[in-house]
Each structure stands twice: as structure tokens, then as C-alpha cells.
Amino acid sequence: MKYGFIKTAAATPKIRVADCDFNANQITASVKEAYNNGASLVVFPELCVTGYTCSDLFLQSTLLKAAENAVLKIKNDTKELDIVSVVGVPIAVKQSLYNCGVVICKGEILGAVPKINIPNYSEFYEARHFASGKKLFENVMYAGQDSVLISDTQLFECENIPDFVFGVEICEDLWVASSPSVRLARNGANIICNLSSSDDLIGKAQYRRDLVKMQSAKLCCGYVYCDSGFGESTTDMVFSGQNIISENGTIISESCRFNQGIIYADIDIERIAGERRKTNTFTPDDSDGEILISQAFEIPLKKTELNRTFPCTPFVPSDKADLENRCEEILTIQATGLATRLAHTGISNVVLGLSGGLDSTLALIVCVHAFDMLSLDKKNIHTVTMPCFGTTKRTKSNAEKLAEAYGVSFEEINITNAVRQHFSDIGHNEKVTDITYENSQARERTQVLMDLSNKYNGLVIGTGDLSELALGWATYNGDHMSMYAVNASIPKTLVRYLTAYEAHKSNGTLKEVLLDVLDTPVSPELLPPDKNGDIAQKTEDVVGPYELHDFFLYYMVRFGYSPSKIYYIAKKSFKEKYSDEVIKKWLTVFIKRFFAQQFKRSCLPDGPKVGSVTLSPRSDWRMPSDASVNIWLKELENI
């Protein structure tokens, strides 16, 4: 699939214990189904060829020979299919028996990986039958092939898709302190396949889910976990077939338990490779002296439909409970940052330009929380409204109501005459409502705030958000500047949710005014109102919808996606709301502005980092202010 997506599958077929012919047919049917649905990699449960619960039957040569013949049948029956299969089977080598995952591609066994950690507790007595495959390195004749390597030192690498590299570990290997997948990932495996037979107990499903999720997070990989299900013996245990596919700490597909069938997920191996390059900790591990062997295969890129979904608001949790917890956490981080700065400087006053818009409202909320933390008098929060040519009655009234509801100090300083004097000084015609007209107001407001900070011995609190920084939608040395920028890593879509969360917790006048702020169009209010006195200058009419820009920002900065890949996933995510042409138009605007406006981000004031995406020039985003945008725009033009 294009753009680095590999469609993977975890298949739990219905089996019969010790009926290898039946099981081979079921596995083959599942491989064909996965192939027909566009999968490039399909993983099966542990010992699925025989059944995991064969117990002492594993010591019968009849069963082992039947299992070998079943593998021969599977590889012959799938040799015309461009798909890699990982199948669980017992394999005898000399005097020992090994629990293996056999990797099959187009009629060839690429290799067999033995289980390393053999459980011998409670209901699991594998040590009665199987030996650990640690240090095993044997080439054997198996399933019609003269040479099959059985070793845990193997990586399986697609020659024509360089980032498609996977490794194999088996069930208990995941649960131990030092999993084989750690070494596999450090040596280049972007996907880990786990063939498992994990019985179900009360509470175990959640533990298993968390284990898979966290393993994929710490290894920065895709993790395909396939569990045994219906057909295994229930003499002492029940298996639920809980299949899980996770990527970098996020579960992207999970089966319905106590069922059989196939789940699919599009793992983004390009994203995983990019994340590893960014963290710079995935260096090869040969500490035990063993060098991993690369087993090559080749399958074509498949033109399949991307089934994976990408949330339209990636900065905002989709689950309501998670959203409330996240909002509380974010506000606490912001407030703690400000409280720490106040405590460190010994300053007990702040100055805030309160416009009645979303950003300054959130900044006020943060100030109130910080003052509560420090038990400071909220009258030391000095809010100022500075009406001028574009100020509407609605926003001015909301600013006053907010200050009163929170019990903070409030004053009005009309800057109209000061701006007109400035126009006279620089020879600007007031009737020309150009960028000079707009920015003169923004800079005058900042000058007033800075001077008031001297008067009150307070810090000027910045209100600008992450989305505005990305687009450069700020007046240089105007609203761009402050003494502590509490919203610097909060994107516009999240600003709205944080304000809504505060409204939800509030009541009376405060709740009413917060809800009205949320209902007010986003605007800098630097141009005159319309004939009805309403806001005429609406930001999203000029630069585009913030939900699109936040989407673009997240995938460009967080994961380094190319313009064509961002466009590809944006079309899927916003297909019900925006046409392809509109998405491409605003993506072009975003990329142009993002590059052109870096100089504003290169000299940002301090502010707390909240999420994984931020544009602070000191640690999180370092970019030359004169970098060329040409190759990004050229790629977008060629779509």
C-alpha cells in the first residue's frame, strides 16, 4: 500500500486438536481470505497446526510428522499468493522439540523461530514437552525443503519495501522481563508478530491488552498479537481468541473475544521508522555476541483501500471520559508552569489583555488556576480590555463579565486616539485598512500591557496559541510577544475544548459568558465591524478552517508526514465535510505559511510544553527561518 502502510492480519481459525489436515485447510483458507482482503502479513496462533492443548501427544512422532505434512500443504496451497504467513507448529530437532513460528512466503519457508521462554507453572506445563530455543541455530530438512533455519536470530525483510521488516516471538516471550522483541526491534524490526495461546481468566484480557499496547509503545513498533480460540481443548482452560494489533502505544484493531476469524490493521511502517530516527535510541544490539540474520522476501505493493481511520481532531481525545481527564491535566500543567514562574521570580501580579475571545479567555482560566495554587489574591490578576476600531460590543461585554465572574481586576483603556496619533506620526491614512492599519493596533495593545506590567510589577501573560504560531497568524512584537505564553502549545481545536470543559464545571453568569465566548467567531477584531455591529473579520475566512490546519500540523510535525501523505489521510478523514480541492487549497496555504513564518517562532517567549507537538525553538522545533518550501510545494502540486 502507498505511503508506508502495510495491511496486517491476525487470524484465529477454528481448529481441531491433533487434526493437522483439518487445521491446515482452515489455515490455508484464512491465508487466502487475508490475501483477498489486501493483507501483506498474516499471523496465526501458537501451535495452531496441531492445537496448543495436545499435551503429551506432542511426544508422538505421528503427530509431529502430520504437522510437518500440514506445513508442506499450507506452503504449497498458498504459493501463488503475495502474502507472508506466520504459522505455529512443533518441530523436532535432534533430541529436542521446539515450539516454533514458521514464516512462509510464496511456497517457501523463510525460516522458523523457536519460543525462548518456556512456561512451567499453573496450567502451563510446556517444559514437559518443549525446550527453549535460545542459542539454537540449526539448518534442517523440513516440509519438503532441504534447508530451513531454526533460530531466534532472524529478521524477515522485504527487499522492495525497505521499512517492512518483522520479527517473531511466541506467547510467553512477551510476558517476561527481557523479551526477544526488544533485540529484534533494536536491530530493525518495525513489526513484531506474536503467536500466542493465552487462556482467559478474570481480568486477564485487560492485562493482555495493556501489555501489547505498552510493548508496541516502548519498542516503537507495530505489534500483531494472535491468540488461540475455539477448538482448543477446554479440559482445564478456555481460550478467547483475543487478537490485538497495536502501533506505537495505540491499539488500532482488536477482535471480539470468544470468537474466531480475522482482524486487520494498516500499520504505518514509515511513521514507525520516522519515530525511531527522531528518538535516536534504536541502535543495533549485539551485546550477546549474536548477529541477527536477515531473511529476504519480496511482495509487491498492493493497491488496497486504507481501512484505518485518522481522527479529525488528533489533539483532542475522542472518548468523553478521557477528554475530561485530559482537559483537567492540561489546565493543571499550564497553571503549574505559570505558578512556578511566579514563585521563582517572587512576582505576585500578572497583566493580561482580555479581548473576550477564546485565547485570552483560556489564558485567564489558567491564571485563575495558578493563583489558586499559590493562594494569591485574584485581584492581582490585572485584566485589560483595549477597544479600538474593530472591537464589538459583544466581545467587550464578555471580557467585562469574565473579569467580574472570576473576581479579577479589570480596566478599560481605549487605544483609538493613541493609534490615530501613531498613524499621524508615520503618515498612514486611516481609511486604508491594510496590514499597517491592523498591526498598529496589535502593537499598541502590547505596548500598553508591557507598560502596565511595570506599573503593577507583574508578568505579561501571552494568549497566542499553537495553531497561530504554526500559521504565523500573529503580529510580530505585538500579540506575538509576552513574558510567559501559557497557550503556546495548545492548538485552536483544543483551546475550544478546554474552555468548554471550564464552562461545564461552572455555573451562573460565568457559565453563560463562557458559552457565549465559545459561540463567538474567531477574530483578531482589527477591522471595523459590519453594519450591524458584528464581527466582520473572521480568521478562518482568511487562513482557512483551524480543524484542517491542526490536522496538518499534527501529522507534519509529530510524524514528519509528507504533503502527499497528509493530503491522502485528510481526504479520508474529512470526506464528509470538505472537497478534495478545498483540502488541497488549505494544505498549500498551511505549508507556505508554516515555512514563511518560522522567524516568528524563532524568538518565542517561554511557555509550558503540554503535548507531543510544540514549536518552541529551544527544544522541540528547530528550523532555519530561511528554509526553502519548494520541494514540499512541488510534491503537493504533483498529486
Overall average pLDDT of the 487-504 stretch: 96
List, for residues 142-159, the tens digit of each pLDDT value. Answer: 999 999 999 999 999 999
**Residue where the block lists cell 529478521:** 155
Bigger pLDDT: 537 vs 46: 46
Reported as half-sphere exposure (CB side, CA atoms, 13 A), residue 501 has a value of 24
Confidence of residue 257 (pLDDT cuts 50, 70, 90): confident
List, for residues 355-374, the tens digit of each pLDDT value. Answer: 999 999 999 999 999 999 99
Distances (CA, A) of 393 to 398, 475, 477, 561: 8, 23, 27, 43
Q: Is the pLDDT of residue 474 over 80?
A: yes
CA–CA gap between residue 269 and residue 2 (Å, rounded): 11
CATH for the 320-637 domain, from 3.30.360.10, 3.90.110.10, 3.30.450.20, 3.40.50.620: 3.40.50.620
Sort strands 137-142 and 145-151 into parallel, antiparallel or unpaired: antiparallel
pLDDT at 620: 84
Q: Is the pLDDT of residue 591 over 90?
A: yes
List, for residues 446-455, the tens digit of each pLDDT value. Answer: 999 999 999 9
pLDDT at 127: 85
CA–CA gap between residue 112 and residue 108 (Å, rounded): 11
CA–CA gap between residue 559 and residue 53 (Å, rounded): 43
Q: Is residue 277 within 8 Å of 12, Cβ to Cβ? A: no
**Residue where the block lists cell 481459525:** 13
**Residue where the block lists cell 501571552:** 462
Confidence of residue 124 (pLDDT cuts 50, 70, 90): low
Which of these, 562, 591, 564, lies nearest to 580 by C-alpha position?
Answer: 564
Which residues participate in catalysis according to the annotation? Answer: 46, 115, 171
pLDDT at 536: 67
Confidence of residue 527 (pLDDT cuts 50, 70, 90): confident
Q: What are phi and psi of 621, to 5 degrees?
A: -145, 105
Confidence of residue 282 (pLDDT cuts 50, 70, 90): confident
Q: Is the pLDDT of residue 123 over 60?
A: no
Confidence of residue 549 (pLDDT cuts 50, 70, 90): very high
Q: Is the pLDDT of residue 429 over 60?
A: yes
pLDDT at 523: 73
Which residue intervals of 37-143 are DSSP H helices?
A: 61-77
pLDDT at 278: 84
CA–CA gap between residue 560 and residue 601 (Å, rounded): 18
Q: Is the pLDDT of residue 376 over 70?
A: yes
Confidence of residue 230 (pLDDT cuts 50, 70, 90): confident
CA–CA gap between residue 444 and residue 426 (Å, rounded): 14
Instruction: Give me the percent of the chain exceeding a pLDDT of 90.
Output: 82
Confidence of residue 11 (pLDDT cuts 50, 70, 90): very high
pLDDT at 303: 77
Mean pLDDT taken over the chain: 93
Bigger pLDDT: 199 vs 326: 326
Confidence of residue 286 (pLDDT cuts 50, 70, 90): low
Q: Is the pLDDT of residue 539 over 80?
A: no
pLDDT at 290: 67
Strand, helix or coil for residue 143? coil
CA–CA gap between residue 531 and residue 278 (Å, rounded): 52
Instruction: Give me the percent of the chain exceeding a pLDDT of 70.
Output: 97
pLDDT at 109: 98
Beta bridge partners of 9: 42, 264
Distances (CA, A) of 452 to 366, 376, 422, 512, 607: 20, 19, 19, 30, 21
Overall average pLDDT of the 74-85 stretch: 97
Q: Is residue 525 within 8 Å of 355, Cβ to Cβ? A: yes
Distance of CA 241 to the CA centre of its chain: 27
CA–CA gap between residue 311 and residue 286 (Å, rounded): 39
pLDDT at 288: 57
Confidence of residue 67 (pLDDT cuts 50, 70, 90): very high
List, for residues 298-322, the tens digit of each pLDDT value. Answer: 998 887 788 888 999 999 987 777 8
pLDDT at 204: 86
C-beta atoms surrounding 107 within 10 Å? 15
Strand, helix or coil for residue 192? strand
Q: Find the angle CA(173)-CA(179)-CA(185) to the nearest 5 degrees.
A: 120
Overall average pLDDT of the 184-205 stretch: 91
Radius of gyration of the chain (CA): 30
pLDDT at 346: 97
The DSSP-derived string for 528-591 is ---TTSS----HHHHH--HHHHHHHHIIIIIT---HHHHHHHHHHHTTTTS-HHHHHHHHHHHH
Q: Go through 378-403 and write b for each residue having 16 or more CB atoms within 10 A of its CB, e for each that does not.
A: eebbbbbbbbbbbbbebbbebbbbbb
CA–CA gap between residue 352 and residue 360 (Å, rounded): 8
Which of these, 296, 279, 271, lies nearest to 105 by C-alpha position?
Answer: 296
Which of these, 193, 255, 209, 210, lies nearest to 230 by C-alpha position?
Answer: 255
For the domain 2-297, what is the CATH superfamily, name and number?
Answer: Carbon-nitrogen hydrolase (3.60.110.10)
Question: Could you tell me the residue ranges of all domains in the chain?
Answer: 2-297, 320-637
Q: Is the pLDDT of residue 66 over 70?
A: yes
Q: Is the pLDDT of residue 285 over 70?
A: no
CA–CA gap between residue 102 and residue 69 (Å, rounded): 13
Confidence of residue 91 (pLDDT cuts 50, 70, 90): very high
Rounded to 10 degrees, the C-alpha dihedral 74/80/83/87 comes to: 10
